[in-house]
Structure 1
């Protein structure tokens, strides 16, 4: 049904609140990067309108830092849409500081705590091969 796929990959050694926080921010990153992936607004039986959500499923995976870094390398080579979240972003207080924290990272050794990926189903499947769905 869908030609594309979304994968959220979250580091498995985080506290539960951190995992949820990272997944939420990553999902907003996908929505911002791929606005055409958003479905239509929801409306209840009383006619109240609600916000839109992505119109396709998102799979959430869990892995360690090396798994995240490997997925990142694969995503870069496959030219997927990549939304990153690094550990230093937990200690920032606003969006500009998040971007500064990310820019300060060693690109060869990102301290990733999460990645969101969007692209063709085939490319996403190859990129997350071997990762386990979050439980």
Structure 2
């Protein structure tokens, strides 16, 4: 992943909660398999409607030749990770409707993050670092 200097929705950027980044490396025959996760928020646009999303991002890479840097969350994200599946949304807000958890407390937690995101588009919520995208 790379940390972008500006927000471009076309690059599908994510804001990452750095305290949730986990990444493990398994070595086999001098090659490394990376697997981890983190919590993220992002914007997507469909049919002209901008949506604020919250969820999990799977972090992984296979058969990297160099030893990965796992020293900090930023270093973990800086490894050559794969993006083909994108993040998994747990909640989404489009300004009029919420999609996600049916548990009221979880809905409230999500909307506390998503409403200000959409109101102040393209803001990065407190506790998140951004914008990160895949090269």
Interval containing the TM-score (normalised by the shorter chain) = under 0.3
Q: Give the alignment's TM-score, normalised by structure 1.
A: 0.26
Q: Give the alignment's TM-score, normalised by structure 2.
A: 0.26
Q: Give 1 or 2: higher helix fraction.
A: 1
Q: Give 1 or 2: higher strand fraction.
A: 2
Which of structures 1 and 2 has the larger relative contact order (alpha carbons within 8 angstroms, sep 6+)? 1
